[in-house]
Chains A and B, each alone.
Chain A
Amino acid sequence: MATKESTTVKEGAQTREHRSQFEQFWREFRKNRLSIVGAVIIGLTLFAAIFAPFIAPHDPATQFDAPEGEHNPLPPGSTLFVEGESNEQITAYLGTDNHGRDLLSRMIFGLRTLMIISIGVNAVAMSVGIALGAIAGYLGNSWVDETIMRAMDIILSFPSLILAIAIIGILGAGTTDYGWISVPNLAKIIFVIGFAYIPRFARVMRSAVLKEMEEDYVDAAKSLGASDTHILTRDVLVNTIPIVVVQATLYMATAVLASAGLSFLGLGLQPPTASLGLMLSNARSFVYSGQWWYPVFPGLALMIIILGFNLLGDGLRDALDPRYSQEGSNDQ
């Protein structure tokens, strides 16, 4: 009975504290105008990714014919005629690609695949990394801790993109079919990039948990008879949320870069999927013939998204918890 009451009191206090913590965070976050810019960029990107079919002016896969005497890719603002009886006209605001597909529409759909991959990569790296890091930290300096962290050291010894390229290179691009299981390309990309980033979350998590374990409330919970799992999941992990949020936001930038890079090398998404990296890879051959819009717009979009995540991540780090702050986590 006594234990139950004390938990309720503690939780009540925590809620109050959390509310004021949130207010404090918001005050800090708002102060930095660049963080707001980052939040707006990411908000718009997610919005465009989710509602792509409603926002994109045209179908991303339709190949429009160039008017007579002209060739795709057509420059921004070109008017195209839709074949058929309707005589409908469309405008390609950012021009078309070499197959006559609307560049803007493909970019918006490209945001969708990019966000799915980047969020997926973070989800994989985060869930596995947090679990491993939390266990290692909680059982600090035991053989379990040693084994987990040495395994992480080994993954970290590989330059991350080289590791991802090698794994996909050996599996082959596209769907991988083992006979008993067939791994779709998208899932494969997510797992391969995510795998390379597991140690980064595990390390951060381990040190955060080690630090938390020294706090008085852990001893208090232990003496009240709380189980290890309870302490770890209810108390310790809750307190490490800020650091994980900051890391995840900054790694979103890295994940965007890595997935676009893989597609650029032909090892990520495969045609005809709309992908910014793939568009850049195709656009390379049009650089010399003066079709500047083809490589410029998809690359610019990539840069703005990455900038958005970096600004947001920096802002969150400054506002949430400067204790564990780290510079230069972006490892392009």
Chain B
Amino acid sequence: MSTARFILKRLMLIVPVLFGVSVAVFGLLHIAPGGPAAVLLGPLQNEQIIQEVRSQLGLDKPFYVQYWLWASSAIVGDLGTSWTVQQGTPVVDLIKSRLLLTFELALLAQLLAVLIGIPAGIIGAVRQNKPADHLSRIGALSGISIPNFWLGIVLIMVFGVTFNFDWGTGGWISPFEDPVANLQHLILPVIALGTARAAIIQRMTRSEMLETMNQDYIRTARAMGISEREVILKDATKNALIPVVTVIGIGIGGLLNGAVLTETVFNLPGLGKLFITAIARRDFEVIRALVLFITCVFVFANLSVDVLYAYLNPKIREDGGN
């Protein structure tokens, strides 16, 4: 199977997945006891008001009609209007105003994870069972075991309280206002969010490097007298890093999960914080839109990673990844 056909097949698989996701997200709203209208009204309700609200929200129509109305407007970018977070504001605007923060946070955390995880993994593999490897492995084990929200609290305690840095207690400053302060304030959240990812990337890189370095062509390269440094950095790394790409991609889901907690700890007004606010205020329209949006981001990120992987890995191109 050619790369193009693999990519085409992968693209076509997206359609049923997105359809399923949208049906599931739509259905989410109806699992609440009494349905969305009862939740929206809270304790102040009677049968007549509930019926009125139901017809206002279109909840009295058959499910497939409701789904069609919702999905057809979602597809053109209309995700409804907020009920209680900011009454009457289109949810798309709420998302837009918070997207930059979450995007910047996730991107920097991913960058930190790659910059620490890959070199640490390579060093671990090259110095297998030596002190540097032990150190790198212990670091990675601690990294995957530390809850990111607790790490965030500890970082605030150390940098915000003990050392009293004004950027050490969270908060957010727009990069257009003050780019330096913006980055400063993101240092701790990025560490809190990126640590676990760095650890996972380290573990994957290390095991892939160890496997690659045992392969024939590496031994041949060594036998040909190519310097160890060149063998490791040029030949081994190039092949070992291909599967690491997948782990980095899967990590986007972990980043989105973690962003909710990190933004809560550091009081960052991003998508995660919006999600939690919407839940606290029972704003189903915002919850539904956010779950759909975040999931679509995740699905398309995975798609791009698969495509990149197919492009990088000649084996997939030959046998279609089977």
Within 8 A of B (CB), among A151-183: 151, 153-155, 157-163, 165-167, 169-172, 176-179
**Total A-B pairs, Cβ < 8 A:** 162
* B257 in contact with A331 (CB, 8 Å): yes
Q: Could you tell me the distance between the alpha carbons of A228 and B168 in the complex, rounded to whole angstroms?
A: 62
B145 in complex: contacting residue of A157, A172, A176, A310, CB < 8 Å: A310
Assess whether B154 is in contact with A295, with CB atoms less than 8 Å apart.
Answer: yes
B156 at the interface (CB under 8 A from A): yes
- Which parts of B172-220 form the interface with A (CB within 8 Å)? 196, 200-201, 203-204, 207
A257:B295 contact, CB within 8 angstroms: no
- The smallest beta-carbon distance between A197 and chain B, in angstroms, is 13
**Contact A166–B287 (Cβ < 8 Å):** yes
B17, B260, B275: the one within 8 Å of A154 (CB): B17
B110 at interface, CB cutoff 8 A: no
Known: A158-B21, A265-B260, A303-B145. Contact between A290 and B298, CB under 8 A? no
- Give residues in A with beta carbon < 8 Å to B: 150-151, 153-155, 157-163, 165-167, 169-172, 176-179, 253, 257, 260-261, 264-267, 280, 283-284, 287-288, 290, 292, 295-296, 299, 302-304, 306-307, 310-311, 327-328, 330-332
Q: Which residue of A lies closest to B258 (CB)?
A: A332
Q: Are B17 and A162 in contact, with the CB atoms below 8 A?
A: no
Q: Whose C-beta in chain B lies nearest to the C-beta of A309?
A: B145
If A159-B298, A332-B257 touch, whether A167 touches B147 (CB-CB below 8 Å) is no
Contact B256 A162 (CB under 8 A): yes
- Does B161 contact A179, Cβ atoms closer than 8 Å? no
- Beta-carbon contact of A303 and B207 below 8 Å: no
Give me 24 A-to-B residue pairs in the complex whose CB atoms sit less than 8 angstroms apart, sorted by A's number.
A150-B20, A153-B17, A157-B20, A158-B24, A158-B295, A159-B298, A162-B257, A162-B291, A165-B275, A165-B276, A166-B279, A166-B291, A253-B144, A261-B147, A265-B261, A265-B276, A266-B280, A280-B153, A283-B153, A327-B204, A328-B247, A332-B148, A332-B196, A332-B254
Given contacts A166-B291, A307-B142, contact A172 B32 (CB under 8 A): yes
Chain B, range 4-22, C-beta contacts under 8 Å to A: 13, 16-17, 20-21
Residue ID in chain A nearest B144 by CB atoms: A330
Give the docked Cα–Cα distance between A306 and B151 (Å): 14
- Output the nearest chain B residue to A181 by Cβ-Cβ distance: B33
State whether A311 and B141 are in contact (beta carbons under 8 Å apart), knowing that A261-B261, A284-B153, A303-B147 are contacts in the complex: yes
Main secondary structure of the interface of B (DSSP, over half): helix
Q: A157-B20, A310-B144, A331-B250 are in contact. List 9 more A-B contacts (CB 8 A).
A: A162-B275, A162-B294, A170-B284, A170-B287, A176-B33, A267-B279, A296-B154, A299-B150, A330-B144
B21 touches A157 (CB 8 A): yes
**Of the candidates B147, B204, B253, B299, which one forms a contact with A306 in the assembled complex, judged by CB atoms under 8 Å apart?**
B147
> Quick check: B144 and A332 within 8 Å, CB to CB?
yes
Q: Who on chain B is nearest to A295 by CB?
A: B153
CB distance from A246 to the nearest CB of B (A): 15
Looking at the assembled complex, report how far the CB atom of A120 sits from the nearest CB atom of chain B, in whole angstroms. 19
- Point out which of A162, A302, A311 has the most chain B C-beta atoms below 10 A from its C-beta: A162
- Does B20 contact A154, Cβ atoms closer than 8 Å? yes
Q: How many Å lie between the Cα of A159 and that of B276 in the bound state?
A: 15
Interface status of B31 (Cβ within 8 A of chain A): yes
| B255 shortest CB reach to chain A, Å | 9
CB distance from B204 to the nearest CB of A (A): 5
**A161 to B295 CA separation, bound complex (whole angstroms):** 11
Contact of A157 among B17, B148, B156, B261 (CB under 8 A): B17
Shortest Cβ gap from A191 to chain B (Å): 12
Q: How far is the CB of B169 from chain A (nearest CB, A)?
A: 8
Q: Are B149 and A280 in contact (CB under 8 A)?
A: yes
- Residues on B with C-beta less than 8 A from A176 are 33
Of the candidates B154, B203, B256, which one forms a contact with A299 in the assembled complex, judged by CB atoms under 8 Å apart? B154
In contact, A331 and B256 (Cβ under 8 angstroms) = no
In the complex, are the beta carbons of B141 and A307 less than 8 A apart?
Answer: yes
B157 contacts across to A, CB distance below 8 A: 287, 292, 295-296
- Of the candidates B29, B256, B257, B276, the one whose C-beta lies within 8 Å of that of A170 is B29
In-complex Cβ contact of A284 among B28, B39, B265 (8 A): B265
Partner of A160 from the list B203, B253, B261, B275 (CB cut-off 8 Å) is: B253
Q: What 10 pairs across the A-B complex have the smallest Cβ distances?
A: A169-B279, A299-B150, A154-B20, A161-B257, A307-B145, A332-B196, A306-B145, A159-B253, A328-B200, A159-B256
